[in-house]
Chains A and B, each alone.
Chain A
Amino acid sequence: MTDRFNNLAHRLKEGERKAGEDIFDYFAPQIFRFFRVMTGSRDTAEDLMLEVFLKTIDKIGTFNEDLGSFSGWIWQIAKNNVKDYYRKKKTVALSDLVLQNKEKSDFLKGKNDPKTALKMAEILDLIKDLSEEEQEIFSLHYLSDLSYRDISKTTGKSESSLRVLVHRVNKKIRKLFNNNE
């Protein structure tokens, strides 16, 4: 069976705007959440996401569906972008840290009740401590609600190894809730 996104990629190569629209609508929110989780900053996530989609257009000519799915291809661009970002930055700038903390406190001060806000703060701290692949799973499974099959296509990992990863992340998050009982 032909992959839906491979067809869209084929049409995008021919310059079809509608194909680009469909691709954007599906991947943009997922990729944004991923960057948001990985970098902890909304601004950085926005910059990285713009780069991914501009690169997608620049490199679409090189996409070869015989070598893999389009989902995996675009996701690889996103992951490489994060790696490049950290390689260039090495250490997180102080201004970024201040911004991240401000965003977090603005959010927590918002409409959440104090108990949920406290729990949220703990989860956000936990996310920072997750490994790269755990953060990836967290954004795709918890935030974007993708199925194991779709995540497998995107990340290139087997479904069984994904289940193990999800179980591990689940355990860490659940621990936070159990500790307070």
Chain B
Amino acid sequence: MSNFITRKIEEYRCKKSLRNYFEPGEDFLCEIKKLFLDKIAPEESTKKARHSWFNLPEVLKYSLASFFGLIFLGSGAAVYADKTNVDYSHPLYNFKRVAEAMRVNLAPEEQLPILHNELAQRRLDEVKKIEAADILVTTTTETVINADIKKHQEIITKLRNDMRQEVNTVISEIEEKHVQEISAHKLCDSVSDIIKEDEKRGDGEVKEIHMKNWARLEKNCGDFINASSTNPLKED
């Protein structure tokens, strides 16, 4: 038995040594491989020259593909968010704002007041939705976390500032006569409605801004502003 084991070990050792003896050298293999592949290469290089895209290294190809993929996905998400007018709480909200900024940059000059008016209306709707959600929470749960309310207040303030900026832009556009009379009529109505809605939820600090806006609006839209949209501050 022990002889058998010894013989097997010896056989194994010999086999291993034989393999080493007959094995090709690494350097030699690399050298021959290079010669062999270089002989194929001329055809390969002309093939590559025909399709310059394939000349790029693999990593660069994947990076470019990923980059364009992300751009495609990002723009798709932005268009979707803008078209569906997602809420502030939606994960794609920031994409919506990016899409809106793009629209403002790309819109022709005569369309700008209408666009700003639409954006002001959107901000107002967003504020309304957040306020409605807050009311729902307070009535159903009673225990409202102060931090959440504070956060919501901050968001609302930010959105209202954005809205006022848009309103201001629309009024400026009307002042500078960049708007046709028919459009100006509709815009004046819409803007006065937005200002009134803002006043309803407003704080005392912005009263001055409203008064200024009303004064500018009356000056430019006095002729065709509808009866229901008259300056409520005047009544005070």
Residues of A at the B interface (CB closer than 8 Å) are 12, 14-17, 20-21, 24-25, 28-29, 32-33, 36-37, 45-46, 49-50, 53-54, 56-57, 107, 112, 115-116, 119-120, 123-124, 139, 142-143, 177-178, 181
Contacts and interface: CB of A to CB of B under 8 A. Distances in A.
A28 B24 contact: yes
A155 B39 CA distance: 27
Given A21-B33, A28-B33, A36-B22, A15 B14 contact: no
A143 B32 contact: no
Given A29-B24, A107-B21, A24 B14 contact: no
A166 to B, nearest CB: 14
Contacts of B47: 15
- What's the dominant secondary structure at chain A's contact region? helix
Interface string B12-28: 01110111111110001
Contacts of B13: 112, 116
A177 to B, nearest CB: 5
Given A120-B21, A143-B22, A181-B7, 4 more contacts: A20-B36, A24-B33, A49-B32, A177-B11
Contact of B40 (A46, A57, A124): A57
A107 B29 CA distance: 20
A50 B36 CA distance: 8
Nearest to B39: A57
Nearest to A113: B13
B44 interface: yes
Nearest to B20: A107
A15 B24 contact: no
